[in-house]
């Protein structure tokens, strides 16, 4: 007697849903993996084998399983009807309206998904929260699903995703841990086992951690809050370095060698970006306030405020250094994406630097190896006050300054002598990532202004 092939469904084919399911499909060939999304253009891109997002190694990963046991579709209802396990990986942005606007999570896409699952499920199903959600969201999901007219049983698990963009494939292949939160009931334990069984195809059992649902939901917010806090902490110290001639790279190295602190996430920068850090911390802040924990809320809120301060400081330094005016001056922005190796520009510090410089009436020229298309769309409101160049040499030609805001490897290896020759003088480099060779640039004639390090200015 042949066993029915089990179907894993993922609702949401974005930065998380697409790569995660491509990995599951590769590692678990005996499952049918279906990813659905309401965004037809995105679905078509995945189907064509050209993923709609840039991520090293992703195209190759998708190619292994596409149309073998990995499928993409816009038919959400049909997908739900045939699913045994449903991962929900829709977006959960910050609310922009009503109560909690600017801080709370906007759960409208999430709730819509819950109702679609309720309407279309035909057999008992495990619903897995993959999206990042406020603590106790699973409870709301369960309440909606409890009213099943078709007498379908639902078990809700929390299984947050910890991948970082730019290294998504590597992170999925070799995760530090997989976290599964479930209920301590017979059906809860069965559901947890079913999910463990999937991950155990490639993740060592000792790295699969099970907790209660609320711990799992909170751990996701906590992990992002801790990571962002390290960046804000080092960035706050970079301001002291600039005031005292201490050097932030030396300070990072010195404290990072303490094995209790560790070296990672201690790179001072123009600020952290990305779709999640700010959103998730503000979500945590909102939750704290909701539970009457004002002091805790203010503590975490400061991580976001420090990040805004750092971005402001970067722009203020540009304007102050360039004789207090950038009006009419061409400034090349090296980088649009929020970090290297992604085309994602969501909450990118590059965009906020552009906004601020355009406000100062600079002529901004943006260049980026992958994020230019997204940047064009985002900055279209400024018309011809902002320009876009694929070629960094063209971007810098005729510019008074370069502001490096994304740490692309390709920016490190440019011929800066050639660039210097075509720039207005005095020529400035503002290195918002401390990733260039400052002494070498200074020797070429540039005035160099790093983050948290002594400025190198020709007199």
Active-site residues, by number, are 276
Closest residue by Cα to residue 387 from 359, 361, 358, 366: 366
Distance CA 303, CA 281 (A): 8
Which C-beta is closer to ligand UGA: that of 233 or that of 455? 233
76 interface partner picked from ligand NAD, ligand UGA, none, CB below 5 to 8 A per type: ligand NAD
Residue carrying structure tokens 């201490």: 246
Cβ proximity to ligand NAD, 41 vs 439, nearer residue: 41
| Structure-derived torsion over alpha carbons of residues 378, 166, 316, 389, reported in degrees to the nearest 10 | -50
Question: Using the rule CB under 6 A, is 145 a contact of ligand UGA?
Answer: no
CA atoms of 333 and 270, how far apart (whole Å): 13
Determine if 338 is a binding residue for ligand UGA (CB under 6 A).
yes
Contact pick of 69, 131, 158, 210 for ligand NAD (by CB under 6 A): 131
309 binds ligand UGA (CB under 6 A): no
Least Å distance, CB 402 to ligand UGA, is 18
Give me the helix-helix angle, 58-65 and 17-27, nearest 10°: 50
**218 binds ligand UGA per the rule CB under 6 A:** no
> Per-residue DSSP letters for 196-255?
HHHHTTTS-GGGEEEE-HHHHHHHHHHHHHHHHHHHHHHHHHHHHHHHHT--HHHHHHHH
CA dihedral 142, 147, 153, 158 (to 10 degrees): -10
Q: Which of 27, 69, 132, 453 binds ligand NAD (CB under 6 A)?
A: 132
Angle between helices 294-321 and 277-290 (to 10 degrees): 150
Q: Closest Cα partner for 336 from 305, 309, 369?
A: 369
Q: Which of 109, 382, 393, 442 binds ligand NAD (CB under 6 A)?
A: 109
Q: Which of 52, 79, 175, 273 binds ligand UGA (CB under 6 A)?
A: 273
3-state class (DSSP) for residue 7: strand
Tokens 């495990």, located at residue: 126
Total of residues contacting ligand UGA (CB under 6 A): 20
**Residue with smaller CB distance to ligand UGA, 88 or 227:** 227
89 binds ligand NAD (CB under 6 A): yes
Q: Smaller CB distance to ligand UGA: residue 196 or 222?
A: 222
Strand partners, 179: 209
Length of the chain, please? 459
CA distances from 260 to 15, 252, 263, 350 (A): 32, 13, 10, 32
SS3 148: coil
Closest CA to 279 of 97, 110, 104, 130: 104
Please tell me whether residue 161 binds ligand UGA under the rule CB under 6 A. Answer: yes
- Residue 246, Cβ neighbours under 10 Å: how many? 15
Residue 434: which of ligand UGA, ligand NAD, none does it interact with, CB under 5 to 8 A by kind?
none
Toward ligand UGA, which CB reaches closer, 118 or 133?
133
For residue 308, the tally of other CB atoms under 10 A from its CB is 13
Which CB atom, from 238 or from 374, has the smaller least distance to ligand NAD? 374
Binds ligand NAD by CB under 6 A, chosen from 10, 61, 76, 156: 76
User: Which one of ligand NAD, ligand UGA, none interacts with residue 450, CB within 5 to 8 A by kind?
Assistant: none
Considering only the stretches 25-33, 159-167, 242-250, 364-372, report the one whose residues sit in contact with ligand NAD under the rule CB under 6 A.
159-167
Q: State the binding partner of 107 from ligand UGA, ligand NAD, none, CB within 5 to 8 A by kind.
A: none
Nearest-approach distance from CB 260 to ligand UGA, in angstroms: 18
Q: Is 442 in the site for ligand UGA (CB under 6 A)?
A: no
DSSP string, 18-70: HHHHHHHHHH-TTSEEEEE-S-HHHHHHHHHTS-SS--TTHHHHHHHHBTTTE
Give the number of residues in contact with ligand NAD, rule: CB under 6 A. Answer: 27
Among ligand NAD, ligand UGA, none, partner that 13 touches (CB below 5 to 8 angstroms by kind): ligand NAD
Does 238 interact with ligand UGA (rule: CB under 6 A)?
A: no
Q: Does 39 bind ligand NAD (CB under 6 A)?
A: yes
By CB under 6 A, is residue 356 in contact with ligand UGA? no
Quick check: 336 binds ligand UGA (CB under 6 A)? no
Task: From the list ligand NAD, ligand UGA, none, pick the one residue 273 interacts with, judged by a Cβ distance below 5 to 8 Å according to partner type.
Answer: ligand UGA
Q: What is the rounded end-to-end Cα distance, in angstroms, of the chain?
A: 85
User: Is 202 among the residues that bind ligand NAD (CB under 6 A)?
Assistant: no
- Using CB under 6 A, list all residues that contact ligand NAD: 11-17, 36-39, 42, 76, 89-92, 109, 112-113, 131-132, 161, 163, 165, 275-276
Residues that bind ligand UGA (CB under 6 A): 132, 161-165, 224, 227, 231, 265-267, 269, 272-274, 276-277, 338-339
């Amino acid at each position: 007697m042949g066993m029915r092939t089990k179907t894993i469904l993922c609702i949401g084919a974005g930065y998380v849903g697409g790569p995660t399911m491509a990995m599951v499909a590769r590692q678990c060939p005996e499952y049918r993996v279906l990813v659905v999304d309401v965004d037809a253009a995105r679905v078509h891109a995945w189907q064509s084998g050209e993923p709609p997002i840039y991520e090293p190694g992703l195209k190759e990963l998708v190619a292994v399983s596409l149309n073998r046991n990995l499928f993409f579709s816009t038919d959400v209802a049909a997908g739900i009807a045939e699913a045994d396990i449903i991962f929900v990986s829709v977006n959960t942005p910050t609310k922009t309206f009503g109560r909690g606007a600017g801080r709370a999570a906007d759960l409208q896409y999430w709730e819509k998904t819950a109702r679609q699952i309720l309407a279309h499920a035909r057999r008992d199903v495990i619903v897995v929260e993959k999206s990042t959600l406020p603590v106790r969201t699973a409870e709301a999901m369960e309440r909606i699903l409890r009213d099943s007219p078709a007498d379908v049983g639902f078990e809700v698990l929390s299984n947050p995703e910890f991948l970082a963009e730019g290294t998504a494939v590597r992170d999925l292949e070799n995760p530090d841990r997989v976290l599964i939160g479930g209920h301590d009931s017979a059906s809860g334990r069965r559901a947890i086992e079913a999910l463990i069984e999937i991950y155990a195809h490639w993740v060592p059992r000792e790295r699969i951690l099970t907790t209660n649902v609320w711990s799992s939901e909170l751990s996701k917010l906590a992990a992002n809050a801790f990571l962002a806090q390290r960046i804000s902490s080092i960035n706050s110290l970079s301001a002291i370095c600039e005031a005292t001639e201490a050097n932030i790279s030396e300070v990072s190295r010195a404290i990072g060698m303490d094995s209790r602190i560790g070296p990672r996430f201690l790179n001072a920068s123009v600020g952290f970006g990305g779709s999640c850090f700010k959103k998730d911390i503000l979500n945590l802040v909102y939750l704290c306030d909701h539970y009457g924990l004002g002091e805790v809320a203010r503590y975490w809120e400061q991580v976001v405020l420090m990040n805004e301060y750092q971005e402001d400081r970067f722009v203020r330094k540009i304007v102050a250094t360039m004789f207090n005016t950038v009006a009419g001056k061409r400034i090349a922005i090296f980088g649009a994406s929020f970090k290297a190796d992604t085309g994602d520009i969501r909450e990118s510090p590059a965009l906020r630097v552009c906004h601020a410089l355009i406000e100062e009436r600079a002529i901004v020229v943006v260049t980026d190896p992958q994020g230019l298309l997204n940047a064009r769309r985002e900055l279209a409101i400024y018309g011809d006050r902002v320009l876009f160049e694929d070629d960094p040499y063209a971007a810098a030609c005729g510019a008074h300054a370069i502001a490096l805001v994304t740490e692309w490897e390709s920016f490190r290896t440019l011929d800066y002598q050639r660039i210097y020759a075509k720039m207005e003088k005095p020529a400035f480099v503002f290195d918002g990532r401390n990733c260039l060779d400052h002494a070498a640039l200074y020797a070429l004639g540039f005035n160099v202004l790093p983050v948290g390090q002594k400025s190198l200015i020709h007199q």
